[in-house]
Amino acid sequence: MSRINLTRAELIRLMAGGAAATLLPSVAAAQTTYDFWFTRLRYQSGNWDVDERMPLNVLTSLVDYTNLRVDPEEKVVDLADPAMLTAPFCYMAGHKLVEFNQAETRNFETYVRNGGFVFVDDCNHDIDGLFARTFERQMAAIFGETALDKIPNDHPLYSAFFDFPDGPPNTMMELNGWGDDLVHDYLKAIVIDGRIGVLYSNKDYGCEWDYDWRNKRFLAEDNTKFAVNIVIYALTA
């Protein structure tokens, strides 16, 4: 598995072209040492810095369940920075407005169309809040009105590492009736050349996984297992 994932990261680095020469030092170091590093996208329009404990929790699960060489430090990279083009996986979340500037739009489209993977999570866990409405509008402007669509619950994402035969696992935010009072039994995606380039959730997985990793032992079932699926799919599909 590690060798496959490393090749995936190498391919993304190659697609970035000249961006490699201007990488942040921490990102450049990650490329030479690790199979996977967690990249959070910082965008200008909204509150990108949510769910602060989530990345470490996800990284811990990757160490626990896989043989990936995992960088233990989250990388925060501006969406407008060409350094993001070299990431094997990007995370984007928030509650507020999503309105990309010209450089952000260019990098997002280039990354996705050339094999990158972005996991986008709506922290409002609804379908008509500000983040959902503006993010979906932004995706329609870049990729077309019908590009973002529901994926079936038998998609390979749900068996990429652990098996989720019923599709995306529910979150406590949904089950407690917050947001739009719905349990979303689907995820949406933009598919490029047969693989997911943008995975989009209204389920608020960021908040679901935002706890100290040491508290995982108190859970009856590790709820970050689905995060492992997302990462493994991103690296191997």
Q: Domain span at residue 207?
A: 39-67+89-236
Residue 7 lies in a domain: no
Q: Is 24 a domain residue? A: no
Torsion of the alpha carbons at 184, 186, 190 and 195, rounded to the nearest 10: 150
**Is 136 among the domain residues?**
yes
Distances (CA, A) of 231 to 116, 160, 205: 12, 9, 14
83 domain-assigned: no
Which of 152, 85, 71 shows the shortest CA–CA distance to 115? 85
pLDDT score, position 223: 87
With respect to residue 45, please indicate whether it lies within any of the assigned structural domains. yes
pLDDT for the residue 158: 97
pLDDT in tens, 117-128: 999 999 988 888
The pTM of this model reads: 0.85
Backbone angles phi, psi at 134, to 5 degrees: -80, -35
**Rounded to whole angstroms, how far apart are CA atoms 147 and 190?**
5
Domain count along the chain: 1
> What's the pLDDT score for residue 12?
41
The answer to whether residue 23 is domain-embedded is no
Look at residue 76 and tell me if it is in a domain.
no
pLDDT in tens, 63-114: 999 999 999 999 999 999 999 999 999 999 999 999 999 999 999 999 999 9
Q: Do the domain assignments include residue 20? A: no
**CATH number of the domain bearing residue 205:** 3.40.50.12140
